[in-house]
Structure 1
Amino acid sequence: MSVSELDPGASPLALFGAELRRLREERGVTQETIADYAHVSKSLVSQIENAKRTPQWDFTEQVETLLDLRGDLLRLLPLVLKTGPTWFRQWPKIEANAHSLRTWQPLVVPGLLQTSDYARAILRGQPGITDQQVEEAVEVRLSRQAVLDRPQPPMYAAIIDEAVLCRPIGGAKVMRKQLEHLLKLLAHPCITLQIVPMTSVPTIGLLGGFVLSQQVSGPDALYLDSADDGEVTDREDRIRRVSVRFDAIRSYARPVNETADAIREKMVMYENE
């Protein structure tokens, strides 16, 4: 496939390849230079640019460093990698274009805040999933977290039910690491996390988890969890209703400055197991 034949709109892989070529040429960097820096073959770089090979996380990170990028390629990577059901494949792009994300999760730690082992334990619970599919899904989930490491990340407000901290997904060791990770994330200037006590969970919160995304450009978007399938929508009436639901749930949450203590209280559960 020649440069002129590569249509960025043909697929996420074609879009990544076209962007890699454009950014490389803008900076006067050759394929050989990228190959040497990333410790891969020139042929592989060429194949990625021509949408014949799938880029991986390590390669993309190294190219970002070499070309002095700020997430230009990393934000496309989740679209390229296998991201699960078709309905979800548009969500990483929405996350990458967000200036604020608000989420309520009554069952598990939000995906952008999960450790690899916690994510792995959750994904392994899917009936019929293979080890390879689990690892691919974990890689994609972790790659999505790069949105919080950008120079100008979105404001991220998460509310979770206290039961999430008590549910020993993956066992004691996995949960200890996950709760330690949450404590570290509390220092992030753009992340707020609040806990809703089990004794005061509003019934409206039991309807399921969701994420509200306010976009830098384009319509705002909403992701809704369900037992059978998830849904992504930009319908204003639904976004408005769920936004009101988020505010109602937040009114039951402990103040932000009590989150660390709430997490430490639950960590005791996993210390001697």
Structure 2
Amino acid sequence: MPIPLDPDPTERPLAFLCAEMRKHRLRCDFTQDRLARIIQFSQSLVGFIERGERTPSQNFMQRYDDAVDAGGELVRLWAQLTRGASPRWFRDWLEVEQEAHTLHSWEPLYIPGLLQSEDYARVVICGEPGISVAQVDKAVTARMERQAIFQRPQPPMFRVLLDEGVLHRPIGGKKVMQRQLARLLEAVESPRIGIQIIPMALGVTTGLLGGFAIAQLPRSPDNVYIESATHGHVTDRPEDVEAIHARYDALRATAQPEHASIELIREAEKQWT
């Protein structure tokens, strides 16, 4: 039987990172379960990541590196793997998102990244003019690993407002949309995630110029993320934060209650089957 070769770090960077993680964990004589308790993530997530089925977040990787006393080696490998996966202007928000205890989001056009299925995310990302296949793959991986924040022992509260049109916009076709709406219904089973739909019939115009998000942080001012056609803007300027809070409150006042919103999602999912 041939001896398996170690993964090539240049050709298979994620496989190489996973192999190095396991090597350091075994050197410390840690089981996955023991390590998960130390870094305060679920054992299932540790397993997914070590098998290369999920890409770790920066917070996960730093805690893992510290726990196995890797001296920053694993964090450096992670940085090489994820470098360039997200636009530079979005990286500030990723750091804010990792620290937030509560997130609020408004999206008038599509499902927010934290709740996107992989197929849906791929179609959305492919819409960027001139993007290469390799860039799409890297960006999809980065978007999926963001969702690891919901695997924490203490995940953030996430409250989402969606325009009803999002449920009916044919992004990727019937199968992609059906799976995406099923993903939303699965997400709202968590008491930490809530989705409210704003009916199209109301003709609400607040927020139609673009999506935004609000992050509430421990012992820090709120931060907001504001989308535009070419890039996003992250700020904690009081006047900007106040303006976004006012828009969010106005939108939420027109939204359906959560139980009625879930029924709207269910009805839309049936239409895509």
What is the aligned partner in structure 2 of residue 179 from structure 1? Answer: 181
Deviation string, structure 1 residues 27-57 (Cα, Å, up to 9, x no partner): xxxxxxxxxxxx995997xxxxxxxx96679
| Maintained 8 Å contact 2:149/2:156 | yes
Q: Which residue of 2 aligns with 1:70?
A: 40
CA contact (8 A) 2:6 2:16 kept: no
Q: Give the C-alpha shift of residue 186 in structure 1.
A: 1.0
Asked if structure 2 preserves the Cα contact closer than 8 Å seen for 1:61 and 1:74, the reply is no
Question: Any stretches of 5+ residues in structure 1 without a counterpart?
Answer: 1-38, 45-52
Equivalence for 1:234: 236
Residue of structure 1 in register with 2:265 after alignment: 263
Aligned counterparts of 1:139 and 1:116: Cα–Cα separation in 2: 8
The alpha-carbon deviation at position 84 of structure 1 amounts to: 2.4
Aligned residue in 1 for 2:68: none
Secondary structure at 1:175 match in 2: helix
The change in CA–CA distance for 1:230 and 1:97 in structure 2 (over 3 A counts) is: same
Aligned partners of 1:159 and 1:195 also within 8 Å: yes
State the secondary structure of the residue aligned to 1:104: strand
Correspondences of 1:12-161 after superposition (within 5 Å)? 59=18, 65=32, 67-68=35-36, 69-71=39-41, 74-76=57-59, 80=79, 81=82, 82-161=84-163
Query: Is this contact kept in 2: 1:75–1:147, CA < 8 A?
Result: no
Q: In the aligned structure 2, how far is the partner of 1:244 from the partner of 1:204? A: 10
How many residue pairs are counted as aligned between the two chains? 226
Q: Residue 215 of structure 1 corresponds to which residue in structure 2?
A: 217
Percent pairwise identity: 40
SS at match of 1:262: helix
Q: Report the alpha carbon displacement of residue 244 of structure 1 after superposing the two structures with TM.
A: 1.1
Match of 2:51 in 1: none
Deviation at 1:83, TM superposition (A): 3.2
Are the structure 2 counterparts of residues 257 and 188 from structure 1 closer, same or farther at C-alpha, using a change threshold of 3 Å?
Answer: same
Paired letter, 1:225: E
Q: Secondary structure at the match of 1:267?
A: helix
Distance 1:150 1:249 in 2: 29
Judge conservation of contact 1:83–1:89 (CA < 8 Å) in 2: no
Q: Secondary structure at the match of 1:102?
A: strand
Q: Which amino acid aligns with 1:204?
A: T
CA 1:102/1:58 → structure 2, altered by over 3 Å: closer, same or farther? farther
User: 111-120 or 256-265, which moves further after superposition?
Assistant: 256-265
Scaled by the length of structure 2, the TM-score of the pair is 0.75
For residues 181-227 of structure 1, give each alpha carbon's deviation from its aligned partner in whole angstroms, at most 9, with x where no partner exists. Answer: 10111111100000000011422121210000001243321111111
**Could you tell me which amino acid in structure 1 is paired with residue 195 of structure 2?**
L
- Secondary structure of the equivalent of 2:244? helix
SS at 2:162 equivalent:
strand
SS in 2 for 1:139: helix
On the 8 A contact 2:214/2:223 being kept in 1, the answer is yes
Is the CA contact (8 Å cut-off) linking 1:99 and 1:153 kept in structure 2? yes
RMSD: 2.9
Any idea what the Cα deviations from partners look like across 1:91-121, whole Å, max 9, x if unmatched? 1111110010000000000100000000000
Task: Please name the residue that 1:9 is paired with.
Answer: none
